[in-house]
Amino acid sequence: MTNELLIYEFRPLYLSLDCIGPFQDKPYEVDFTDKKNQPCNFFLLTSKNGLGKTIILDTMSSLLGLLGQAEPKQYGLEDMDKGLGRAQLDVKLRVFWQGQDHNIVLSIFGGSLGQDLSLKVWDKEELLKYNVTNWYRMGFTGQQSGYPLKPFSTHKSENFIADLLVAIQISLGSSPGSFGESIFSLPTTLSFSAYRDIPPIGFSGKLVRDRSITQPQHWGYKPVHCFSPHNETWNYSLDNLLVWLKWLDDGRFEKARDLINKQVFEGGNKYLDDVRRDPPEAIVRTGSDDLIHRLDRLSSGEKNLVQLFLRIGAHMTKNTILLIDEFDVHLHIRWQYRLFNALKALAAREDANFTVIATTHSTEILESFVENLDIDEDGLIKGGHLIKEGMFNDDDE
């Protein structure tokens, strides 16, 4: 079945929310397309605190996560799990399926029974506007009384939906074959919270004796990976990921090391050197060979960047959506621009389809972004959204 379906492009078009988080009074829509109706691959969200930036990213993760679940018990989003809210994510796909190329809009729904789940309806005129021929819908509906969730009516009846879900679900757990590149065309979403710490493993070194060469927690393919800032277990840690890459002995550790040294430590006196055996962990050196740092002893800004680049390199596919809350947190303005440009370079890659959706409070980054929004940059389709107080001013920037 998987040989019959190849995904060339998988990009968000719209997100509609109703009675979720601060979006309570009426449905709210985020448009991820540019002025030419093309789905953006580099998109910034901004607002004052508390207006819904984080809930937008969380809702997207929740809906995309349904692709990998045959019988989900919950959404993982409080307002939908309680049967109070509903949401719809519209995604544009370019696929090879049943011997032909297709342009498709896939709408993924979540919400309670008794409601019209179609927050956005795609008629022929709307499809033509985006150069799309077919509209497919899937999702799961919940009940105010609880679980389990039930498949939306077209979930099983449409051949394309059935083939897509089978392709994803039989690939769950498949090991990545490389670092920083991928042969998988199936979509994955890498979701990063605003807190990208690298905590010590265990408390005061208590669990050092329990470390072993163990497959990392997020190693296998999933349609959504949500990275926690507070997990102190060995198999979740970046140290374990680097030890695992070293143990594989196929060049992946060296690629990861070189990427971190370029994107994080270039221009300074620190560098990721190797991993050691006792205790098994990454070695960061400063200046001379005598001064060694652990990853959890890096600065907050360095941890932020190490988390992002190691997780992206390890778990990306050819169709990757990056959701990054407050991408600039803990970063000096010079490093903000450094990460900003690195994310743009990811979005512009020719060998993979990256969609970067990030939130920010950085006035310097926002001013630069708005000033250059209409300037063509190779490989980039740029867009943004401002959530205003009052919620329902849908102005895009």
Q: Indicate the pLDDT class of residue 228, thresholds 50, 70 and 90.
A: confident
Cα 247 → chain centroid: 27
Q: What DSSP string runs through 137-150?
A: EEEEEEETTEEEEE
Predicted local confidence at residue 49, as pLDDT: 86
pLDDT tens for residues 110-140? 887 555 667 899 999 999 999 999 999 988 8
Radius of gyration of the chain (CA): 21
> What are the residues whose beta carbons fall under 8 Å from the beta carbon of 147, sequence distance 6 or more?
73, 74
- Write the CB contacts of 35 (distance below 8 Å, at least 6 apart in sequence): none
CB 198 within 8 A of CB 229: no
The pTM assigned to this predicted structure is 0.92
- Quote the tokens at residue 42: 């580099």
**With contact defined as beta carbons under 8 Å apart, do 245 and 313 qualify?**
no
In terms of DSSP H, where are the helices of 130-182?
A: 154-157, 159-171
Q: Please say if the pLDDT value at position 397 is more than 80.
A: no
- Which range has highest mean pLDDT (242-256, 273-287, 324-338)? 242-256
Q: Where are the domains of the chain?
A: 2-172+362-387, 208-222+231-302
d(CA 76, CA 147): 12
| Token pair listed for 267 | 């221009």
90, 119 in Cβ contact below 8 A? no
Question: pLDDT by residue (tens digit) across 311-356?
Answer: 999 999 999 999 999 999 888 999 999 999 999 999 999 999 999 9
> What whole-number distance in Å separates Cα of residue 283 and Cα of residue 292?
6
Give the model's pLDDT for residue 148: 57
